[in-house]
Structure 1
Amino acid sequence: MYLADQTWPELGARLADASVAVVPLGSTEQHGPHLPLATDHLIAEALATAAAEETGVVRTPTVTVGVSPHHRQFPGTMWVDPPEFRDYVESFTRNLAYHGIDRVVYVNAHGGNVSHLREVGRRLHEDGTSYAIEWMWDESIPDLVDDLFARNGPHAGPKETAMITHIAPDLVRTDRLEDARDGGLVDLEASDATVHGARTYYDAIDNSANGAFGDPTDVTPEKAAELFEAAADQLVQLVEWLDAREREELLPKGRVA
């Protein structure tokens, strides 16, 4: 159920205490010369929608701008600073709790959001407001991602290209796939991104001139469908697991005597 499509009387009848919501979060940032800036939030929204339709839980509106200053050199990239992002997500999650939703899955598709969402979840758990956990789609199926693509990349590579190929194929600039590969960084381990154990970069452009990593030419519609369906299935299972938990299981444990 998509929350924003309902009227308040309809929601008043359907929202109950101890209920679950999925919250899609992504970014509006560069994804190489071949993918739209909307890539991350399109992925998050599509997966959250699929899980909500399968399980019947609430899906909230999508958070479309995230923590993306490391892509700022590329035109069009938008970002918010980490403290403001954390406070915003925490605030609307407390709002959901007011309406009876005490379990939340942050359906995340942007790496820059991960640590901040986990911190928000910790705060909400610590004071007993709600149990909110961060879920990053590609981290739920790492073996499949590695099996499908020979040269992965953490950003604007084959896995994200595959997801948009499945979700919104008209938005993939297929004539720029080779440009993305040849003008970007195919193999992160071959760069000087890490020297003597230290990470040497702060921004994506420090490693990739066009913002792409990996080889997106290795994508087919069949691989794209398999990737999306596998991630959606993992999210459905997570939602069902969370929905089956008793509230007492999820509250903070007491001090050890």
Structure 2
Amino acid sequence: MNDSVFLSELSWPEFATRIKAGQPVMLPLGATEQHGHHMAMNVDVVLPTAICERVAQRIGALVAPTLPFGNRSQPRTGGGRSFSGTLNLTAATHAAVVRDIVCELYRHGARRIVLVNGHYENIWSSVEGIELALDTLGRDPNDTLAILRIDHWDMVRPETIARVFPDGYPGIELEHASVIETSMMMALRPDLVDLSAAANDGPARFKPYDRYPAPPQGLPPSGVLSLTEGSTAEKGQWLLDDVVRGIEQAIREEFGLE
């Protein structure tokens, strides 16, 4: 018996059996994007994938393959187009991909679907993808379809944020490649983190508006929008514990799982 939570590691009959049994399906939404000098570009893939794996093991769910490309990075939240290696999808493309995956999962019998987002700019394109899927599938109140969309950082408790940032929280928009992501990566994949390479040239100081096509002034050359100083694996575990617990609780509540 294959007890993997990863959909792609199952045979099709095993997948069909587990979907028929009503197992929820989790879809991690990531990105391939610069994360400073000190981390790999797959941070937004590693984090939601690991979170989904842990939650799936607790509740008996499946994890679909992570979408490794995200809605295009913006200077004030991810550094934008200024850095080598960031691979962007347009919002329309990202929304269409999300729509298609949701519709395909539904076609195979999935009726409880959870999107777990790890890339800030995916927020509205993933919302649009869900709306497009519902436009396609219909919005019959008698249908058992239920979709959750969760940005993993929203599951961190205020008291944990206060522990991680005793001198004040800069806000999630400036936490790109900074303490939260760096600490979580140190807890999950320390082999992909090299704090000695961190430039510590932040924080970013943006104007309260956007200018195109040039990125706004105030973007640190390293691409880290806040600071990496203070990042630890211990803090990363605090954050991960909150996120996994929060997502598990939301799924159990919304889907009526014991």
TM over 0.5: yes
The within-5 A match list for 1:84-99 is 84-99=93-108
- The answer for the alignment partner of 1:132 in structure 2 is 147
Count of residue pairs brought into register by the alignment: 234
| Partner of residue 82 from structure 2, selected from 73, 77, 80 | 73
Specify whether residues 116 and 205 from structure 1 end up closer, same or farther in structure 2 by C-alpha distance, changes over 3 A only. farther
Identity %: 23
- Say whether the 8 Å CA contact 1:18–1:102 is kept in structure 2: yes
The gaps in structure 1 that reach 5 residues or longer are 246-257
Question: What TM-score do you get using the length of structure 1 for normalisation?
Answer: 0.83
- Which of 204, 210, 214 lines up with 1:200 in the alignment? 210
- Farther-moved stretch of structure 1 (81-90 vs 212-221): 212-221
- Does the alignment pair 1:119 with 2:128? yes
Q: Which runs of 4+ in 1 moved over 6 A?
A: none
Q: CA deviation at 1:146?
A: 4.1
Report matched runs for 1:1-257 at 5 Å.
1-16=5-20, 19-70=23-74, 71-125=80-134, 127-128=138-139, 130-141=145-156, 143=158, 144-149=160-165, 150=167, 152=170, 153-177=174-198, 179=199, 181=200, 183=201, 185-186=202-203, 188=204, 191-194=205-208, 199-201=209-211, 203=215, 207-244=219-256
User: Which is richer in helix?
Assistant: 1
Counterpart secondary structure, 1:101: coil
Per the TM alignment, residue 2 of structure 1 is displaced from its structure 2 partner at its CA by: 1.3
TM-score by length of 2: 0.83
Q: Check the 8 A contact 1:125/1:132 in 2, yes or no.
A: no
Aligned partners of 1:156 and 1:212 also within 8 Å? yes
AA paired with 2:123? V
> RMSD value over aligned CA atoms?
2.1
Give ranges in structure 2 of 5+ residues lacking alignment.
75-79
In structure 1, distance between residues paired with 2:109 and 2:100: 15
Structure 1 residue 243: Cα displacement: 2.2
SS of alignment partner, residue 104 of structure 1: strand
